[in-house]
Amino acid sequence: MTIENSGTDGTFLAVVLAAGQGTRMRSTTPKVLHEIAGRSMLAHVMVTARAAGAARTVVVTSPAQDDVRAHVEHTDPDATTVIQHEQHGTAHAVLSAAAEIEAAKLPVLVLYGDTPLVRAVTLSAAVDALEDRTSVVVVGFEAEDPTDYGRLLVHGDTDRSGHTSLERIVEHADATAAERAVTFCNSGIVGLRASAALPLLKAVTNDNAKGEYYLTDVVEGARTNGDRAAVVAAQEDAVRGVNSRAQLAEVEAIWQARRRVEVMESGVTMLAPDTVTLAFDTKIASDVVIEPNVYFAPGVTVEAGARLRAFSYFEAAHIGRDAIVGPYARLRPETRLGEKVRVGNFVEIKKADVASGAKVNHLSYIGDADVGTEANIGAGTITCNYDGFAKHKTTIGPRAFIGSNSALVAPVTIGEDGYVGSGSVVTKNVSAGALAVTRAPQVEKAGWVEKFRTLMSRKAARRV
């Protein structure tokens, strides 16, 4: 999904670090392209940055990440990618975007492509904190288990907006026992005042055990310059990063739980919320009822009053007002259901318009088709849309009746009020109001069963 162009208006420059290899993911897919709710983690961060007021986004990538750069362009054509040719720490990564930072002349917010749950309100608060003599702002959180996190050591004083001063950041390995008792931890998200950003970043040295340039050192740099550093608090879940498949699943569960609550608060009923899976762009109107184990892939819209029955799967489909779908139904891309349509158990529909009041209730496949108003599709009906080389369309007119176990071989049209007898294979158009029957006549042979059994018994006796 592409972010809409928001022009150059905005309050900050977002620099998203995405060059990490993500080796713990054990994947050929770059870590930041793994998905939460059908959208890449990187795209979640980019979209949130724009929602928070980013004027532009710069994504830092590694030389081999052509697929990440292509994904960035697809997600936000206005975004820029830069390459960190060698990885020497987080401050070094941000300096890969030095030209963009200098040109923007805006506050800089450093984000991470593997923190998809970050909220726009947190990012806005961080940018707002960069005022007066505050050169650096760090987003912190209260950690349930602070082990391995850097600790934020704060002063009691606040600025006029209520932001607490940050004295320094202490890494877990370097912390004293008293410092390790602190549970307020560093999320890694850092904001830099426009005029201070490049001087502070360039002043960072690699005089440490790993020989890397740490972004957290800008806090000490600001205080050395006589400037202020501040903190903004976020919930732990909102800044949770992903480094493994298990953590990816944990973040997915958090996202789903958060979104389900939002959907239910908008007037949607979920009979078993924990069993419903939503996509990042799922749109559901009020008074929709969702039964257990319903899955939404991206691109689904559901209008008011619809009922989605259990164990159904929807992807890139539109479900009309007061429609009933399922149980065990599958709607594939480019499916559009009109008002009060009925789609029943074990029905699959793909690239089809099903008009208001039509019914496809049992064990049928409707693909590449138009189904008219009040039409009735009998159990076991299929539209034979593929000839091995190309797809063809089936058109079923208003109030047409298709008998059970029929095959409609496209391209074919069933006229308005047309009637197809059960078990027919229809290869020619059916006129409006006409009956089409293609099955062979039924033949009955009296006494056949007794003769057959006698014959087979004699054959069996000869084999003994």
What does the alpha-carbon distance between residue 242 and residue 18 come to, in Å, rounded to a whole number? Answer: 12
* Amino acid identity for residue 119 in this structure: R
Cβ 417 vs Cβ 397: under 8 Å: yes
Q: How many residues does the chain have?
A: 464
Helices (H) and strands (E) in the chain, counts: 10, 35
Reply yes or no: is the peptide bond before residue 63 cis, omega within 30 of 0: no
Residue 159, SS3 per DSSP: coil
What does the alpha-carbon distance between residue 93 and residue 392 come to, in Å, rounded to a whole number? Answer: 52
Query: What's the sign of the alpha-carbon dihedral 109, 21, 171, 212?
Result: negative
The first and second tokens of residue 323, run together, are: 């429609």
* 362 part of the active site: yes
What does the alpha-carbon distance between residue 175 and residue 186 come to, in Å, rounded to a whole number? Answer: 13
What does the alpha-carbon distance between residue 116 and residue 112 come to, in Å, rounded to a whole number? Answer: 8
The first and second tokens of residue 201, run together, are: 């970043």
**What are the Cα distances from residue 369, in Å, to 103, 235, 355, 386, 396?**
53, 49, 11, 12, 8
What does the alpha-carbon distance between residue 250 and residue 247 come to, in Å, rounded to a whole number? Answer: 5
**Distance from the Cα of residue 318 to its chain's centroid:** 17
What does the alpha-carbon distance between residue 411 and residue 429 come to, in Å, rounded to a whole number? Answer: 9
List of E strands, 321-429? 324-325, 330-331, 335-337, 342-345, 348-354, 359-362, 365-371, 376-377, 382-384, 394-396, 401-402, 407-409, 412-414, 419-420, 425-426
Q: Which of 74, 172, 362, 392 is catalytic?
A: 362
What does the alpha-carbon distance between residue 48 and residue 36 come to, in Å, rounded to a whole number? Answer: 14
What does the alpha-carbon distance between residue 388 and residue 408 come to, in Å, rounded to a whole number? Answer: 16
The first and second tokens of residue 266, run together, are: 């908008």
The full DSSP string for 254-265 is: HHHHHHHHHHHH
What does the alpha-carbon distance between residue 160 and residue 168 come to, in Å, rounded to a whole number? Answer: 21
Smallest CA-to-CA distance from 122 within 19, 240, 5 is with: 240
Residues 6+ apart with CB under 8 A from 463: none
Catalytic site positions: 362
